Amino acid sequence: MRPGCVAYLCLGLAIGIAQAIRNGTSSEPVTLTVAREGGNKSSPLLFGVMFEEMDHSGDGGIHGQLLQNNGFQGTSLGMTSYAPVGNTEISQDTLNPVSDAITSSLKVSVPDNATEYVGFANTGYMGIPVMNHTYKSSFWMNGKYSGTINLKLIGSQSGIVYADHNLTVESTDSAFKQFKTSFNSSASPNGDNEWHLTLDGSKAAGSSLNFGYIQLFPPTYQDRENGLRDDLATVLSRVNSTFLRFPGGNNIEGLEIDTRWKWNTTIGPLVDRPGRESDWFYPNTDALGLDEYLWWCEDMKMAPLLAVWAGKSYGGIVSGSDLDPFVEDIMNEMEYLFGSEETQYGKMRVQNGRKEPWKIDYVEIGNEDDLTGGCDTYPDRFTQIYNAIHDKYPNIALVASNGNYSCLPPALPENVIIDLHLYRQPDDFVALFNQFDNQPRNQSVMVGEYGCRNTSSALGDYWSFMQGSCSEAVYMIGMERNSDIVQMAAYAPLLEHFGFISWSPTMYGFNSSPESITPSTSYYVQKMFSSNKGNTVLPVNSTADFGPLYWVATKTDSKYYVKLANYASDEQNVTVSIPKTESGRLEMLSGSQNEGNQPYNVTVLPVTTKLKGDHGNYSVTMAPWAVAVLVAM
C-alpha cells in the first residue's frame, strides 16, 4: 500500500457492473425472505486484518516497548528521544557497541565535580503512556560503577514524578551487562511523560559510563514476554478477526534489496536483532519479529498468513538463478517454522522458546508484484518459490501477490490463491459490489488489502467516516455472498500512532495520552461482520434489487445472520423474514454521512436492540448510511 501504487482489478476477473449506484429517494419498504437452506459454504477465514510496520503501528504501537530509538537502529534517528538529565553530557557512541547487532550505545560523561544524580531521559514515541500499572524496564550497562540506579517516569513539562524506583547495580568496564527490574506507577493525566535513568554522580565523577538497548514495557497481552501492549491488543482482540496477514505489504520489500525484511534477523534475543531502515522511512527495531507475530496470532486465535520475500525491492529485483540463494533462505525459514528439533533451523526455534512447530497454512509469495517493476519477472520468481515450498510442504496454500494475469504464470497451479488490493472512494467500492458474482468458481481469491480512502488527497482521508465505512460494508457483503471463491479479506491498514502518520485512515489509532485509543467507524464494521458470520450463505428473495440497500444472509446450525447496509441519505424500512425463528438481536452502526470517530470524541458506536420476531418477521429501520447485523434464532 502506497499512494500511487494501488493494485487495480485483475484482468482475469472481468467485472460486470450490473446496476448503477442507486441513491434511493423513494425508500419503498423492502421485504427480504431468507431461505432456510440451499446455499454455498462460506469461507471460515473470510474477515481478517493486515498488519505491517507503518505509522508506528508496531514499534511505539501494538508492540509493548515504549522507549524510542532504544538501540540506535536504522540510519535516520541520531539522538532522537534522548536528553541529558542533570550536569552531564550524553552522546551516541559507535565505539562501544552493545552487541554485533546493536552497534551503538549511549555514553554518559560525568563531570569531575558531579555530586548529584545524573543520567539521561528517553521521551518515547512522542511521550510515554503512564498509567496505574506495573512496568518492566531493562538496560545494558558498561563501565565501572557500584551503587544505585534510579529510574523514574516523570511529566516532561510538569515534572510530576509518577514512578520512582531504585535498583542496585554492580557493573564493570569489561563487558556490557543487562539489568532488569519492575516497578509500579501512578497514572499521568496526559501523554507528555518521559523515562529517566540516573546514577549517583559522586560515585562516577570524572568517568563515563555506557548504556544500551533500554526497554520499558507496560503490562502485555496475555502477559507475554516481549509482548503486545495490553490495551491496544485488547481492542483488536474484540474484532474477532480470523487471520492476520503480515509482515507486509510494502514493508517486507525493502527500499533496497539489502534493507528487505529478513526473517532471520528478527528472531532470538533482542540484543541480537539489528533492525532495519524500513520502507516507511523510519527504523524498525524488529522486536516484533517472526516468532512474536506468530504468538500474536495464536493468542488472538487468528490464522497466520505469512508473506515471504520474493525478489522484489524498490531499489532492485533479483530473478533467475540469482534468486536461488533467496529461495534457499525461504526454505530455511520454513524449516525454522516447521522443522523438528533435530533440524538445524528447527532447533533454533526451540532455543527461541517455541517447542512445537508453528501452524501456518497460508504463505504469500511477495507483495504487489504487478507493480513497481515486478511484473515481467514475477511469473518465474513465483514458480521458483512455489515449486520449492510446494515440493516440501504440499499442504500449505500458496498465495500469488497479485491478480493481474499478465504478471502471473500462464497456468497457475491448482489451489493457488490470487491476492487483490483495493483502496477506493466510497462510490467506487459500491460499484464493485458484484465484482465476484460471475467469476469462475475454480479460482480462489484473497482481497489482501482493502479500505475506503479519499484518494483525491495525498494522505487520504484522515478519519474513516460513515459513508466510507458503509461502502466497505457493501463491498464486504459482496465478498461474503461469494465467499466460496473469496477465501480471505483483510482490512488495511490496522493501526496508526497519531503523531507519526504517513497513511490513513487505519482501523484504529492512538497516541501516548489516556483515552486516546480511537476505534474508527470501519473498526466497528469489521467487528460486526467478523463476529457474526455463519458457515453457509443462504439464498434471499427480495422485493427490490440491490442498491441502495444491500444484504447477505448466512447461518450456522439454527442461528441466522443477516447483514445489511443502507448506502443512502434516506432511511430505509426493511422487513426481514427468517421463518421458524423467534427472536433476534440487531446491532446497528449509524451516523451522518461525513461523521467519524476522532480522538477523545468517539461518537459513532454500534447500538444493540432486542427484536421479537412476529412469525419470524423482523422490522428494521435502517438509518441513512447505516450498517447492521441481525442475528436470529
Ligand X SMILES: *[C@@H]1O[C@H](CO)[C@@H](O)[C@H](O)[C@H]1NC(C)=O
Is residue 239 within 8 A of residue 49, CB to CB? The reply is yes
Q: How far is the CB of 496 from ligand X (least distance, A)?
A: 19
User: How far apart are the C-alpha atoms of 119 and 110, rounded to whole Å?
Assistant: 8
Name the residue with cell 484473497: 446
324: cell is 536461488
Pick between residue 54 and residue 163 the one whose CB is nearest to ligand X: 163
Q: Which range touches ligand X (CB under 6 A), out of 58-66, 170-178, 416-424, 535-543? A: 535-543
Q: Is 235 in the site for ligand X (CB under 6 A)?
A: no
Q: Which range touches ligand X (CB under 6 A), out of 48-56, 291-299, 354-362, 399-407? A: 399-407
Q: How far is the CB of 604 from ligand X (least distance, A)?
A: 8
Residues 6+ apart with CB under 8 A from 623: 566, 571, 588, 590
Q: How far is the CB of 312 from ligand X (least distance, A)?
A: 13
Q: Is 406 in the site for ligand X (CB under 6 A)?
A: yes
340: cell is 523438528
User: How far apart are the C-alpha atoms of 382 and 401, rounded to whole Å?
Assistant: 9
Pick between residue 111 and residue 514 the one whose CB is nearest to ligand X: 111
Q: Which amino acid is at 94?
A: T
Q: How far is the CB of 256 from ligand X (least distance, A)?
A: 16
Residue 95: closest CA among 208, 195, 203, 196: 208
Q: How far is the CB of 461 from ligand X (least distance, A)?
A: 14
Q: How far is the CB of 38 from ligand X (least distance, A)?
A: 7
Q: Is 580 in the site for ligand X (CB under 6 A)?
A: no
Pick between residue 99 and residue 142 the one whose CB is nearest to ligand X: 99
Q: How far is the CB of 399 from ligand X (least distance, A)?
A: 18
User: How far apart are the C-alpha atoms of 279 and 276, rounded to whole Å?
Assistant: 9
* Residue 614 DSSP code: B
Q: Which range touches ligand X (CB under 6 A), out of 70-78, 111-119, 382-390, 416-424? A: 111-119
Q: Is 388 in the site for ligand X (CB under 6 A)?
A: no
Q: How far is the CB of 267 from ligand X (least distance, A)?
A: 9
Q: How far is the CB of 80 from ligand X (least distance, A)?
A: 26
Q: Is 87 in the site for ligand X (CB under 6 A)?
A: yes
Pick between residue 125 and residue 465 the one whose CB is nearest to ligand X: 465
DSSP 487-498: EEEEES--EEET
Q: Is 571 in the site for ligand X (CB under 6 A)?
A: yes
SS3 523: helix
Q: Is 20 in the site for ligand X (CB under 6 A)?
A: yes
User: How far apart are the C-alpha atoms of 90 and 405, rounded to whole Å?
Assistant: 56
Pick between residue 177 and residue 238 the one whose CB is nearest to ligand X: 238
Residue numbers 326-365 binding ligand X by CB under 6 A: 329
Q: How far is the CB of 78 from ligand X (least distance, A)?
A: 25
The residue from 595, 606, 611, 617 that contacts ligand X (CB under 6 A) is: 595
Neighbours of 607 (CB within 10 A): 13
Q: Hey, what's the torsion of the CAs at 469, 466, 576, 527, to 10 degrees?
A: 50
242: cell is 480470523
Q: Is 189 in the site for ligand X (CB under 6 A)?
A: no
Binding mask 34-63 for ligand X (x = CB under 6 A): -x---xx-----------------------
The residue from 207, 343, 372, 531 that contacts ligand X (CB under 6 A) is: 531
Residues 6+ apart with CB under 8 A from 557: none
Strands 105-109 and 303-308: unpaired
DSSP bridge pairs for 141: 177, 211
Neighbours of 603 (CB within 10 A): 11
- Burial of 112 from C-beta contacts in 10 A (0-12 / 13-18 / 19+): exposed
Q: Is 502 in the site for ligand X (CB under 6 A)?
A: no
The residue from 15, 617, 621, 633 that contacts ligand X (CB under 6 A) is: 621
Residues in the chain: 633
The residue from 5, 18, 19, 23 that contacts ligand X (CB under 6 A) is: 23
Q: Is 541 in the site for ligand X (CB under 6 A)?
A: yes
DSSP bridge pairs for 565: 550, 627
Strands 540-542 and 30-34: antiparallel
Q: Is 242 in the site for ligand X (CB under 6 A)?
A: no
Is residue 227 within 8 A of residue 221, CB to CB? The reply is yes
Pick between residue 166 and residue 387 the one whose CB is nearest to ligand X: 166
Residue numbers 119-148 binding ligand X by CB under 6 A: 132, 134, 148
Q: Is 603 in the site for ligand X (CB under 6 A)?
A: yes
User: How far apart are the C-alpha atoms of 625 and 233, rounded to whole Å?
Assistant: 29
SS3 181: strand
Pick between residue 92 and residue 372 the one whose CB is nearest to ligand X: 372
Q: Is 441 in the site for ligand X (CB under 6 A)?
A: yes
Residues 6+ apart with CB under 8 A from 135: 153, 163, 182, 183, 184, 185, 216, 217, 218
Query: Footprint of ligand X on this chain (CB under 6 A)?
Result: 8-9, 11, 20-21, 23, 27, 33, 35, 39-40, 87, 111, 113, 115, 132, 134, 148, 150, 164, 166, 184, 186-187, 237-238, 240, 264-265, 329, 370, 375, 404, 406-407, 427, 441, 481, 484, 531, 537-539, 541, 571, 573, 595, 601, 603, 621
